[in-house]
A and B are shown apart, each in its own frame.
Chain A
Amino acid sequence: MGEVTMLEAIREALFEEFERDPAVVALGEDIGVFGGAFKATEGLLAKFGPERVIDTPISETAIVGAACGMSYLGLRPVVEMQFIDFIACCFNQVTNFAAKSHYRWGAPVPMVIRGPSGGGVHGGPFHSANPEMYFVHTPGLKVVYPSTAYDAKGLLKSAIRDNNPVLFFEHKFLYRRIKEELPDAEYTVPIGKAAVRREGRDLTILSYAAAAHTSLEAAQVLAKEGTEVEVIDLRTLLPLDRETIIESVKKTNKVLVVHEDTRTGGIAGEIAAVLCEDAFGYLDGPVARVTALDTPVPYAPPLEQRFLPSVEKVAAAARELAKY
């Protein structure tokens, strides 16, 4: 099998899960005949038919609501947000209906809400957002945000099989920019497990999604300067893999968190708190962070470049941290 993009890996996961389990259905705007705005569901309708691949009205609340109802009868709906920014339109249905269902009355909601997220493609304030933290703050949800084609496929399959509502963020900057060869054999990637992307002894960078690639590039720059950086890809933000984070800190004693989400209320703050609670004695310096600005995602390329984390910003922050 040749190399596939992250987008193709996502499509493979959908086809395989549709083939494996007739309880898996898909709902979303323009996902059927058109195959989705990014073509993630291309070919799905032709193969599995309109009962399983449902083109819906532009009604995010109704889409997620209907998916909740379907899940109560044992289906496993996969909802596409055309852009993940639009998940704001169904915030209530996600956070109050789906997330609280099992806790309140023991009714599991096996559902996936997936969609393209993230910036760097000049999408402007409404097509570039990283709204993951609204949902990381919501008990009852799981939040997954892969950075590789392999993980995207394996995690999406796990998400579809999970008995809880899983929000699956697909960084659109990565959709067609990264490629890798995937195993021929069936595989899944467990939700809630971080991955060590690069081993190092001097400091740890915790990151995810497109920012994980930025962090790896920065690590290469620093390696030439003699600083060995360990890069951990969180992959799942809720539940957070505290164990892997803390194991790494015990080794490197310094932590830099890098994310494309905005700064205030981003996962970096939560990780800093976790480290203070569980690994304070191992820290040789402050928990540092490189994040997007606390602004909406701006449209003009120079503004967006300023907004986003970059290899330079990450390397500079790492150099400062390494001094401790």
Chain B
Amino acid sequence: MMGLDRVSMGKGTAQRMNGTLSREQHLELYYFMQLNRQLEERLVRLFRQNKIVGGVYSSLGQEAISVGTSYALEQRDWLAPMIRNIGTLLVKGFKPRDIFTQHMAKVTSPTHGKDGTSHFGDLKTLHVVSPISMLGDLIPVMAGVGMAGRYLGQQIVAMTWIGDGGSSTGAFHEGLNLAAVQRAPLVLVLENNQWAYSTPVARQVPLKDLADRALAYGIKSRIVDGNDVIAVYETARWAVDECRVGRGPILIEAKTMRMKGHAQHDPAEYVPKDMLEYWKARDPIARYEKYLTNSGLWDAKTKAEIDARIERQLDEDQKFAEESPLPDPQSAEQGVYCEGCHEIEADWRRPKEQVMPPAASVEAVWKVADFGAATIPTGATQSKPEAQPAVHYPKHAHQTGHGASQPPRSTEASAGKPAGEDLSGAPPLRVPFGRGPKDRSFEREKQQNQPAKQNRHRRRRR
């Protein structure tokens, strides 16, 4: 795994033992989440100082998803972030200075000022594909990355992210459908952060669980508490492992909350205040800090060392970015076409003869197994169950307490371990907070979510 050298803990080797994380890896998860958050807080300050050329899109409260999912990837794997996935770029090996310079449009940025934010990548070493602003387009692209990797015999996995809002685009559905038909090694992480700019999820998607999107494509899916980094990592690791052995694609829905507006300009007054309070109490970093303390994985001194290291690194990289010049205006005219500037060569990990005749030649006929025959009695119609509730839930080797058959309704259920403060008396995770404040069902469900009425509420919903 990348980036271990950036954590102040010596040069221990990060070894994964049958899906469990070493102490170093636990600390590395913290390091990346905190680095992600502190970096973005600096971006906000720079924005207020008018030092950011464009926008700043905060992932506050969603760091566990970026870090936990991308941490399950290997060096050879590919990822394509969305705008709120700076954490994935850090985990894959980009430096904070890349993020600073991108936002400040400096010539030293990975795109040399041609694009901003998380819109950059690296084909050769880090295997990161740059996003575009149009949502969903990365899904077929990363399906293609996975297909090409399989074709070349590389045994790679491709991972990308989409939001609750982005899951309504045509590209999402075309991409996931193609990936499913092709059994592409693609992990799609659907970050349900409850808001598509100002529109709550209930007004975008007629499903309680967006993981149900997977049912339409006959692929496996899981729902995970997106604010529990260990649960996110374990789920992503399972998905990556499945994809690597040809059992992809896989859809993961990570439930979380966008704690800031769509971008810095947006105060997000449309978000109910108690909804923010609900999620603030489930902050992924605060929870994980308590978990590390309670598990004896670190002490105050270790935390202070990591935090200080982050500060030093960010100081240095911010300084580098601020002192970097803007690009030369003439460079605006360069680089539209690739004319001899790149040598394009595929990295073959299988004999090329396998894809050339005669080995590759086939009889070009279709075989249709059951002739498309209906399996229902003549004259009858068959009703299909409705999509909700989703039936795929995380099942972790180390899970205790709540059984794997239990939906991850509470923050503990998904991880199966005490992560952060005790929330056992808290209402189920599926709160009415996907609705607008004036929605009457919003108030009604809030009443029902009082702990005393919890059992009755659950029965009713079954």
Contact = CB atoms under 8 A, between A and B. Distances in A.
B249 interface: no
A155 interface: no
Contacts of A68: 140-141, 144
Contact of B355 (A33, A46, A52, A63): A52
A103 B357 contact: no
B360 A69 contact: no
B75 to A, nearest CB: 15
Contact of B145 (A54, A62, A70): A70
Contact of A33 (B119, B133, B356, B364): B364
B397 interface: no
Interface residues of B, number: 62
B142 interface: yes
B130 interface: yes
Interface string B120-154: 11010000011011100111111111111101101
Contacts of A52: 151, 355, 360
B174 interface: yes
Contacts of B111: 104-106
Given A72-B129, A92-B134, A61 B342 contact: no
Interface stretch (B17-25, B59-67, B252-260, B343-351): B343-351
Nearest to B356: A22
A120 B56 CA distance: 52
Nearest to A110: B344
From B141, B142, B366, residue with most partner A Cβ within 10 Å: B141
B175 interface: yes
Given A22-B355, A48-B360, A163 B339 contact: yes
A285 interface: no
A62 B142 contact: no
B119 A104 contact: yes
A89 to B, nearest CB: 9
Contact of A59 (B114, B146, B178): B178
A223 to B, nearest CB: 39
A70 B342 CA distance: 16
B336 A140 contact: yes
A221 to B, nearest CB: 40
B344 A108 contact: yes
A96 B132 CA distance: 7
A75 B346 contact: yes
Contacts of B356: 19, 22, 48
Contact of A93 (B114, B137, B362): B137
A32 B120 contact: no
Contacts of A229: none
A100 interface: yes
Interface string A87-121: 00000110011001111111110100000000000
A152 B5 CA distance: 55
B218 to A, nearest CB: 13
A74 B345 contact: yes
Contacts of B108: none
Contacts of A108: 338, 341-342, 344
Nearest to B160: A69
**Which residue of A23, A62, A75, A164 has the most chain B CB atoms within 10 A of its CB atom?**
A62
A139 B332 CA distance: 12
Interface string B175-218: 10110011000000000000000000000000000000000000
Contact of A69 (B140, B152, B336, B338): B140
B115 interface: yes
A105 to B, nearest CB: 5
B145 A69 contact: yes
Nearest to A89: B170
Contacts of B142: 69
A56 interface: yes
Contact of A65 (B139, B335, B338, B347): B139
B352 interface: yes
A66 B144 contact: yes
Task: Classify the interface of chain B: helix, strand, loop or mixed.
Answer: loop
Contacts of B364: 32-33, 35, 43, 45-46
Contact of A97 (B110, B121, B132, B348): B132
A63 B143 CA distance: 10
A97 B141 contact: yes
B171 A73 contact: no
A51 interface: yes
A100 B364 CA distance: 37
A49 interface: yes
A107 B130 contact: yes
A47 interface: yes
B337 interface: yes
B148 A96 contact: no
A164 B341 CA distance: 11
A100 B132 contact: yes
Contact of A61 (B152, B158, B170, B361): B170
A66 B249 CA distance: 14
Interface string B357-370: 10011111110000
Contacts of A73: 145, 148-149, 152, 154, 346-347
Contact of A163 (B178, B338, B361): B338
Contacts of A47: 357, 360-361
Contacts of B138: 65
A242 B341 CA distance: 24
Contact of A74 (B139, B158, B335, B347): B347
A46 B148 contact: no
Contacts of B110: 105
Nearest to A109: B338
A104 B364 CA distance: 41
A163 B335 CA distance: 12
Given A61-B175, A96-B132, A69 B144 contact: yes
A70 B144 CA distance: 5
Given A48-B361, A50-B362, A59-B174, A69 B115 contact: no
A67 interface: yes
A139 B334 CA distance: 11
Interface of B: 110-111, 114-115, 119-121, 123, 129-130, 132-134, 137-149, 151-152, 154, 158, 170-171, 174-175, 177-178, 181-182, 335-342, 344-348, 352, 355-357, 360-366
12 contacts: A25-B151, A33-B365, A62-B177, A65-B138, A66-B143, A69-B144, A97-B132, A105-B111, A107-B130, A108-B338, A108-B342, A108-B344
Given A22-B348, A68-B140, 13 more contacts: A49-B361, A51-B360, A59-B177, A63-B178, A65-B137, A66-B175, A70-B151, A72-B141, A74-B346, A76-B344, A96-B134, A108-B341, A164-B337
